[in-house]
Chains A and B, each alone.
Chain A
Amino acid sequence: MRVNFTVNGRRQEADDVWEGESLLYVLRERLGLPGSKNACEQGECGSCTVRLDGVPVCSCLVAAGQAEGREVVTVEGLADFAKQRSEGGCASGACGTSLQDAQQWAAKGQDSQTGEGGELSPIQQAFIDAGAVQCGFCTPGLLVAADEMLERTPNPSDADIREALSGNLCRCTGYEKIMDAVRLAAARQGEAV
């Protein structure tokens, strides 16, 4: 079956999709976007979190066919997504992240330690600055979930943060640094307003 949907602001088409396939599989294996991670395949770990029509979901539990005609944002498109949000829409008319850019997306920039020179969303920069990335496997899911929480709750309490990230597991147990990163992003977001 063929699935037509929007990924990171651009129309995409996936062919030869098996009917029982998950959205996660389509993203990773058909479109070559490995940012969303595949771990538990049962919605326990949150490492495959993407936004489906704006709502954070586990992409491993969305059937590919259910994504037909809908909008998906993955971690690869998060920088552009956050930029558009802060600019109040797409000013240039050429927004979104192309499949090629998304496939080649890397947090490197010019300096892999600080992220300087790269295109990062504020939450990604905060994760780097707070040292919230250890092995990095849970990071994409956490970034998507945390970014959505900050969009909805600009001044989150610690309880808000814990609640919003309660569906994302980190087995390096770097939760304290992750909390720091989200608090940092929230504080920076507050200063910017």
Chain B
Amino acid sequence: MDFLRPASWEEALAAKAEHPTAVPIAGGTDVMVEINFDHRRPEYLLDLNRITDLTEWEVGEETVRLGASVPYTSIMEHLRAELPGLALASHTVASPQIRNRGGVGGNLGTASPAGDAHPALLAAGAEVEVESVRGSRLIPIDEFYTGVKRNALAADELIKSVHIKKADGPQQYSKVGTRNAMVIAVCAFGLALHPETRTVRTGIGSAAPTPVRAKAAEEFLNAALEEGGFWDNGKIITPSVAKQFAELCSGACNPIDDVRGTASYRRHAVGVMARRTLTWTWESYRGARRITEGAA
């Protein structure tokens, strides 16, 4: 095994081009587990810790450019206002020790269907900035996950950052597990309201081969909210609407039975989380609306 320690992003891209089998390591919270357990013996480890650009973020007009190695701890502490869904998701990652090392770039690189960041990224709307010596490109998050632990990266590409839409409305995140800390999601759900476009977006984790959006549920809810004038009148979501939304979210799942839970439990739990997060976000939207419009 060779340990490559590029000092700059350009050096890292050159190393990855020269050794496409090199495994990038940043926080190490996935890669080192595989090495410790002898599940993986990469020819080359490509250490990204010396590249400080990767641990920086930039809050722009419409998006946050989040460096691939920004640790979850920093997202929780510094980006709660801009990226509330991702900040909540970050807080559910493992433990403080893991959150101090791991970041969204690694979550995307591993592309496990159980990765905690995915539902939040899908719900908020994001693009993954990847680069190789050939050039850089932005991959829409909906096209990024291609299979179980597979993603749209080419062999010579590295993940540089994620461009995530700044929240324009309430966002929520919910995760099922046996305890609060140190849990791989049995299933997870992210929901973002986008009042500016009068749309909602969802993200489902650990309940299909890849993280997915519940698109039929989104379309149903978009239409129901529009039809009932909910965005303007700020009324309570009708229970039948919430129920239908939850059922459609369950329907978007394609889960398996495994040690963490059964397929039918996952489908059921995703529906429950969909209904709850819809209630939480909508109540918060109504609250904000009352304040901005000065109504009682």
Interface residues of chain A, those whose CB is within 8 Å of chain B, are: 1, 18-20, 22, 41-44, 46, 49, 55-58, 60-63, 65-66, 68, 145, 163-164, 166-168
Q: Which B residue's beta carbon lies closest to that of A68? A: B5
> With a CB–CB cut-off of 8 A, which chain A residues contact B3?
1, 19, 63, 65
The answer on a CB contact under 8 Å between A61 and B33 is yes
Q: What are 12 sample pairs from A and B whose C-beta atoms fall under 8 A apart?
A: A19-B2, A20-B35, A43-B33, A60-B32, A61-B101, A63-B35, A68-B5, A163-B96, A166-B96, A166-B181, A167-B97, A167-B182
The answer on a CB contact under 8 Å between A43 and B45 is no
> With a CB–CB cut-off of 8 A, which chain B residues contact A56?
96-97, 100
Interface size class of B (residues with CB under 8 A): 20 to 34
> With a CB–CB cut-off of 8 A, which chain B residues contact A145?
96-97
> With a CB–CB cut-off of 8 A, which chain B residues contact A49?
97
Q: In the complex, what's the smallest C-beta–C-beta distance from A50 to chain B, in angstroms? A: 9
Q: Which of B129-166 contact A (CB under 8 A)?
A: none
Please name the 10 residue pairs, one residue from A and one from B, whose CB atoms are nearest each other, closest first. Answer: A167-B95, A166-B181, A19-B1, A19-B3, A41-B36, A65-B3, A61-B32, A42-B33, A167-B97, A61-B28
Could you say which of A42, A44, A63, A66 has the most chain B C-beta atoms within 10 Å of its C-beta?
A: A66
Known: A22-B36, A58-B101, A167-B98. 6 other contacts (CB 8 A): A42-B36, A43-B98, A57-B100, A65-B5, A66-B25, A167-B94
Residue in B31, B37, B180 whose CB lies within 8 Å of A41: B37
A1 to B1, CA, bound (A): 10
B49 at the interface (CB under 8 A from A): yes
Q: Which of B5-29 contact A (CB under 8 A)?
A: 5, 25, 27-29
B116 at the interface (CB under 8 A from A): no
B80 at the interface (CB under 8 A from A): no
Cβ contacts B160-178/A at 8 Å (1 or 0 each): 0000000000000000000
Given A19-B1, A22-B32, A60-B36, A66-B47 contact (CB < 8 Å): yes
Main secondary structure of the interface of B (DSSP, over half): loop
> With a CB–CB cut-off of 8 A, which chain B residues contact A42?
33, 36-37
The answer on a CB contact under 8 Å between A167 and B47 is no
A164 to B96, CA, bound (A): 6
Residue in B47, B97, B98 whose CB lies within 8 Å of A63: B47
B198 at the interface (CB under 8 A from A): no
A14 to B58, CA, bound (A): 38
Q: In the complex, what's the smallest C-beta–C-beta distance from A176 to chain B, in angstroms? A: 17
B290 at the interface (CB under 8 A from A): no
> With a CB–CB cut-off of 8 A, which chain B residues contact A43?
29, 32-33, 94-95, 97-98
The answer on a CB contact under 8 Å between B45 and A63 is yes
A16 to B180, CA, bound (A): 40
> With a CB–CB cut-off of 8 A, which chain B residues contact A168?
95
Q: Which A residue's beta carbon lies closest to that of B43? A: A19
Given A19-B45, A167-B182, A61-B95 contact (CB < 8 Å): no
B78 at the interface (CB under 8 A from A): no
The answer on a CB contact under 8 Å between A55 and B95 is no
> With a CB–CB cut-off of 8 A, which chain B residues contact A163?
96
Q: Which A residue's beta carbon lies closest to that of B49? A: A66
> With a CB–CB cut-off of 8 A, which chain B residues contact A55?
100
Q: In the complex, what's the smallest C-beta–C-beta distance from B225 to chain A, in angstroms? A: 36
B41 at the interface (CB under 8 A from A): yes
Residue in A46, A63, A68, A164 whose CB lies within 8 Å of B32: A63
Could you say which of B3, B29, B94 has the most chain A C-beta atoms within 10 Å of its C-beta?
A: B3
Q: Which B residue's beta carbon lies closest to that of A144? A: B97
> With a CB–CB cut-off of 8 A, which chain B residues contact A60?
32, 36
